[in-house]
Amino acid sequence: MEHFYALVQNHAIIISAVILILAYIFIALEKIPKVTIALLGAAVVVFSGLVSQDKIAESGLNEFYFINFVDFNVIFLLVSMMIIVNITTRCGIFKWIAIELLKLTKGKPLMVLIVLAFFTAILSAFLDNVTTVILIMPITFVVAKQLDINPVPLLITEIFSSNIGGTATLIGDPPNIIIGSAANFSFMDFISELTLICFIIMAAVLVFLYLCFKKDLKTTVEKMESIKEIDNSKTITDFALLKRSMIILTLVIIGFLTHDITHISTSIIAFIGASILLLFENPEDTFKEVEWNTIFFFIGLFIIIGAFEAAGGIKLMADWLLKVTAGSQKIASMVILWASGILSGIIDNIPYTATMAPMIHEIELEKGADFVCPMWWCLSLGACLGGNLTIIGAAANVIVSENSAKHGHVIKFLSFMKYGIVVVFISLSLSSAYIWIRHFI
């Protein structure tokens, strides 16, 4: 085994890069569950000695201990928010709000499109995208049936809205959670930096989608009237749960907003909120609803990327980016934005962001925090908005597509992509202008 470990150490960058690339390939092919790939890859890098199995080294704590590469801020924030959202959702409050908003549209298809789009975007800023679309889809099918219109334009709009809305906050999309932890950005940093541009992108995308779908958004006066008659009186099923979950959710968000004052980590705030809610729930039932596949996917992924980082591969990537951009902050930022937007539409944006975050951090060590600040925001905008490029670009896209097919409305890959290309081009173009104005002028 000594010869084996010596061989691995002598070729650590190449071997760790091959494992990382193979993981990317198998994740993209979707033939094997991505959590299995991540955990298998993590097991390989630990077994091969690319990262250490030992917590203690001769000189003290071992910096290459494999657990050190797992970002537990990300893990605890994800688990805690999943618990809070799953418990809060049970009372029916989000569905109740959606139906009330739809009744205000008086059944006008254009207004329905706009309301569903903005409600999805706002909800996605505070819940995860998958939860949001799961909540919105049943309502969408009911409304489309009552108006006798094709639900596909509404569903496609909700996909785009969920990814745009999720970009606006720290907890809206997993890539932002990774970036927030790596760059030490607060919840308010994301709000102040990204909310305005996300709103502008939403408005521009909605204009484009209306032009594309206006022929499909026609119905009769009688059918519009039927929307007003939807019974929403029994949507909220547990008022006691409603009160305590909304109190905790509100306090957690206040905690996020006041991070700069309290200096309490967002993961700890969410952890406290989830723990309090669990006092009133059956933990066994609640934990069944946590997306453990996603959590262990993150853990395995962090270890695989940690091996590449420990071997020096991340530093090589950082040096290469600075070299090809001639050390230009502006060019490097734009390269990160557009490369992230395109690649995240093709491969999973979570492993992509998890790989890029250490690279930008490496550049920060060399050039300073001010130099990389716009690069972090470019990574966030590109990775989150790029998910709109294809129907497999984000988990929410896949969920909507599968459910739409079950209802007899197939969203074809190329049909979605013809809208996705334009939406991503609009999003990245506006993001480029925004970053340039905000950081470079």
Contacts of 75 (CB under 8 A, 6+ apart): 295, 298, 299
Q: What is the pLDDT of residues 265-279, one digit of tens each?
A: 889 999 999 999 999
**Which residue is associated with the tokens 């933990």?**
283
d(CA 45, CA 36): 14
d(CA 38, CA 298): 8
**Residue-level length of the chain:** 441
Strand partners for 65: 52
SS (H, E, C) 189-219: HHHHHHHHHHHHHHHHHHHHHHHHHCCCCCC
**Structure tokens that stand for 379 in this block:** 């990574």
| Helix count and strand count (H, E) for the chain | 22, 2
Global confidence as pTM: 0.86
The domains of the chain are located at: 2-69+92-236+291-440
Q: For position 396, what pLDDT does the model report?
A: 84
Q: Are the beta carbons of 115 and 101 closer than 8 angstroms?
A: yes
**Structure tokens that stand for 213 in this block:** 């779908």
Q: What is the mean pLDDT of each run of 10 residues along the chain (441 residues)?
A: 80 92 85 90 93 82 86 89 89 87 85 92 87 86 87 94 94 90 93 95 95 87 81 89 93 89 89 95 90 88 91 89 92 95 83 91 93 96 93 81 86 90 97 96 85
d(CA 358, CA 179): 9
Q: For position 209, what pLDDT does the model report?
A: 94
Strand, helix or coil at 57? Answer: strand
Q: For position 42, what pLDDT does the model report?
A: 95
**Which residue is associated with the tokens 């999805």?**
120
Q: What is the pLDDT of residues 338-379, one digit of tens each?
A: 999 998 887 778 888 988 999 999 999 999 999 999 999 999
**How far is CA 243 from its chain centroid?**
28
Q: For position 168, what pLDDT does the model report?
A: 94
- Among 329, 188, 210, which Cα is nearest to 261's? 188
- Among 310, 299, 316, 304, which Cα is nearest to 355's? 304
Q: Are the beta carbons of 332 and 378 closer than 8 angstroms?
A: no
Q: What is the pLDDT of residues 89-145, one digit of tens each?
A: 899 888 888 888 888 888 888 888 999 999 999 999 988 787 888 888 888 888 888
Q: What percent of the chain has pLDDT over 70?
A: 100
Tell which phi-psi region holds residue 408, choosing left (phi > 0), alpha (psi between -120 and 50) or beta: left
Tell which phi-psi region holds residue 135, choosing left (phi > 0), alpha (psi between -120 and 50) or beta: alpha
d(CA 259, CA 186): 7
Q: Are the beta carbons of 305 and 69 closer than 8 angstroms?
A: yes
Give me the half-sphere count of Cα atoms (radius 13 Å) on the Cβ side of residue 284.
Answer: 0
